[in-house]
A and B are shown apart, each in its own frame.
Chain A
């Protein structure tokens, strides 16, 4: 099985979603502090959803008739991909590979 590949933006999005739970695009942009752009965040999220790292659902807030909000959350596969990346980072920094829970 091939190891999952994550770009810097994808890794950042996964880290944020793992840390904060479900979020929508604008929240991610604000939480990233300039590392993510508004124009491309949903494109990146769409590609991550195709790869299986994240999943999304539409939320219709009560009393709102406008466009629905789409919330994204990390999948189990996404969590594992992030763990693989973290292990790789540790190894590259000269550390040891601990058992991953």
Chain B
């Protein structure tokens, strides 16, 4: 892909050398990696506490990356990824019989983002967040008890509940949206 003229002129002002887009990309990636490495090292006290390993997925068939670490670090990691895991749950998981396993992504965290896009804030707060909250609480409780079968069942029924709620709420939200659009586009709007 060719550079546009203003790209070139801006680049020539910003950098003392001529660089291709690929070179700039590599430089950017290196800077991001370096920053992340520094954050990891100085915020969480070294590398020795972090172990990433591949293992069987507790809830789905297949392989999954697990973060093997102490509770506080897992909390920080989860926060960095945007997944909120109750610290209480993490410490419980950390104390679970071997191997010490922390699930990095709690179930349903991505669904909540989808809901934020599709539904109103109020609907998310009253309907979908509590639904996922119940799912996560039951799921972690089952894992803590060392019952992956129950956790799998909780996950399945929880997702079923969630999508049932979505199906039940869609007509309401859609009707509300149409009414609002009607009011806006009407003669008095």
Contacts and interface: CB of A to CB of B under 8 A. Distances in A.
Interface residues of B toward A: which range? 35 or more
Contact of B130 (A25, A37, A63, A64): A25
B168 A39 contact: yes
Interface string A64-85: 1111111000000000000000
B87 A45 contact: no
Given A43-B165, A56-B126, 6 more contacts: A26-B138, A40-B168, A43-B169, A45-B126, A66-B85, A67-B136
Interface centre among B88, B125, B133 (most CB of A within 10 A): B133
B132 interface: yes
Contact of B127 (A24, A26, A46, A69): A46
Contact of A42 (B87, B126, B158): B126
A38 interface: yes
B160 to A, nearest CB: 6
Contacts of A11: none
A43 B160 CA distance: 14
A70 B126 contact: yes
Given A39-B160, A46-B123, A66-B86, A25 B168 contact: no
Contacts of A39: 131, 160-165, 168
Contacts, number: 83
Contacts of B164: 37-40
A49 interface: yes
A46 B126 contact: yes
B75 interface: yes
Interface string B54-95: 000000000000000000000100010000111111000000
A67 B132 contact: yes
Contacts of A66: 84-86, 89, 106, 133, 136-137
A70 B130 contact: yes
A42 B130 contact: yes
A26 B135 CA distance: 10
Interface centre among A43, A67, A68 (most CB of B within 10 A): A67
Contacts of A58: 125
B43 to A, nearest CB: 17
